[in-house]
Amino acid sequence: MFRALPSLRFVIPVVLLIALWFLGSHLFTQWQLQRIEQAPLKRSRVMFIALPADMTAIVANKTVYVYRKQDVQARSFAAGEEPAIRPGARAILVDQLLERAPIVLTEAQFEPNAELRTAPAPPPMTGDYGIVKVRLTDEGRRRLWKFSASNVGRTLVIAVGDRYVARVQIETPLNVTEFEIQPIWHVESARLLQQSLNEARAQS
């Protein structure tokens, strides 16, 4: 076989080396993540909270709400359409959510240089939406990386005080220092988040 196809003498070792490199990289990453030890975060001014599996965050009238999944009767915010909520269902407040959900990040894990910009909302919506660019501290990067590596697909809601201002979904493990939070449909909420991230560190 190798005589008929001499190039395989080189291809097979290269493929094996690539496979071993990926395996080694994965094992090394898992070892690094296991070494990261961190105490649970406490209630703070700004909180990135991980939703439990039986809860969902929806956007209605450019405002973020948290409900139990069984109380939401339609998908949230498809082409500007607001979700249908089961009659009598009540939104879950921040204090209620914190009884069951971990805090992934607070303002203490961000550098005080958050930037805000706006962009036109897609039709059929009108007006602008907010985009907040943030930079993590080394501790914040480690915390987000460890959480996101084992929670791909999970939703985080961002709360400032007792108010939810945005929701984001973890689509991939995030070993990053900078990222953008978007869309924040209510621009004033985006401005509140930006100011809270910047002022909190300035006062400490």
What confidence tens digit (pLDDT) does each residue in 6-21 have? Answer: 565 666 666 666 766 5
Cβ atoms 68, 54 nearer than 8 A: yes
Question: Does the global pTM surpass 0.75?
Answer: yes
Give the lowest-confidence range in 7-16, 87-96, 143-152, 161-170.
7-16
No. of helices (H) and no. of strands (E), the chain: 4, 9
- In whole angstroms, give the CA distance from residue 78 to residue 48: 24
132 vs 198: CA distance, rounded Å: 12
Bridge-based pairing of strands 128-135 and 178-184 is antiparallel
| Residue 24 scores a pLDDT above 60 | no
Shortest CA distance to 157 belongs to which of 94, 111, 115?
Answer: 94
Residues paired with residue 100 on neighbouring β-strands, in sequence order: none
d(CA 49, CA 155): 8
Side chain identity at residue 21, one-letter code: W
Cβ atoms of residues 187 and 130 within 8 Å:
yes
Q: Within the chain, where are the H helices?
A: 8-35, 94-98, 138-149, 187-203
**One-letter amino acid for residue 113 of the chain:** N
Count Cα neighbours of 170 within 13 Å in the Cβ-side half-sphere.
Answer: 25
Answer yes or no: is pLDDT of 191 > 80.
yes
For residues 101 and 116, give the distance between their C-alpha atoms in angstroms, rounded to a whole number: 28
